[in-house]
A and B are shown apart, each in its own frame.
Chain A
Amino acid sequence: AQSVTQLGSHVSVSEGALVLLRCNYSSSVPPYLFWYVQYPNQGLQLLLKYTSAATLVKGINGFEAEFKKSETSFHLTKPSAHMSDAAEYFCAVSGYGGNEKLTFGTGTRLTIIP
């Protein structure tokens, strides 16, 4: 069985400050890990994914995440927050291989303070 835990249902940062959203995973097999963003009244958009290649993954909109097996973590960061980053962020895990279902965390709502 696989699962992810997102620490902090709400995170607020000032515009221009570091964004750090936390995700820890549990998996009995080598995982694929993902971060998705959801804007109001929209579907989910893939930010980045880890599929057993480089442990530091760069995504869209300046986001990146680092896979740390020893800590079972896959935290999402962005050096400088922008007002447009305000959204709901979901971490997800799937099994190694093709076409596996995604198991999502409960999400973190990111608020940007002007």
Chain B
Amino acid sequence: DAGVTQSPTHLIKTRGQQVTLRCSPKSGHDTVSWYQQALGQGPQFIFQYYEEEERQRGNFPDRFSGHQFPNYSSELNVNALLLGDSALYLCASSSQRDYEKLFFGSGTQLSVL
């Protein structure tokens, strides 16, 4: 059983560009959350998707947007990249039946130059 998969694993962009990160949840999971982990910090919650809608959102600007597809996979989009957006982006999935148990992917390392 594949766990949470994220692509790409590494990405290099320049300031002002746009980026799309992808996540496939663990089999049987219907909820996807995205976290940003800056170097030396704990992950920070960006937003959560369930039933193709954004259900919760953290303290991130509108440059950060997302989408969930009918197969429960998800995308994170970041527009007008800033140097400070450089971080590890983690996707986590869960199910409504066992919502406290999050499974995390290995993340996408985004570098903005």
Measured between beta carbons, the chain B residues less than 8 angstroms from A45 are: 104
Q: How many B residues face the partner with a CB closer than 8 A?
A: 28
| Given A99-B94, A107-B42: A49 touches B101 (CB 8 Å cut-off) | yes
Residue of chain B at shortest CB distance from A102: B45
Q: How many A residues face the partner with a CB closer than 8 A?
A: 24
Measured between beta carbons, the chain A residues less than 8 angstroms from B58 are: 101
Interface check A114, CB cutoff 8 A:
no
Taking a contact as CB atoms under 8 Å apart, the answer to whether A104 and B44 are in contact is yes
**Whole-angstrom distance between the Cβ of A74 and the nearest chain B Cβ:** 14
Residue of chain B at shortest CB distance from A101: B45
**Whole-angstrom distance between the Cβ of B90 and the nearest chain A Cβ:** 6
Taking a contact as CB atoms under 8 Å apart, the answer to whether B104 and A49 are in contact is no
Taking a contact as CB atoms under 8 Å apart, the answer to whether B104 and A44 are in contact is yes
Residue of chain A at shortest CB distance from B107: A43
Taking a contact as CB atoms under 8 Å apart, the answer to whether A106 and B42 are in contact is yes
Residue of chain B at shortest CB distance from A106: B42
**Whole-angstrom distance between the Cβ of B40 and the nearest chain A Cβ:** 8
7 A–B pairs (Cβ distance < 8 Å), ordered by A = A43-B104, A49-B100, A90-B43, A99-B99, A102-B45, A102-B102, A106-B41
Given contacts A46-B103, A49-B100, A98-B96, 5 further A-B contacts (CB under 8 A): A32-B100, A44-B104, A51-B100, A102-B35, A104-B44
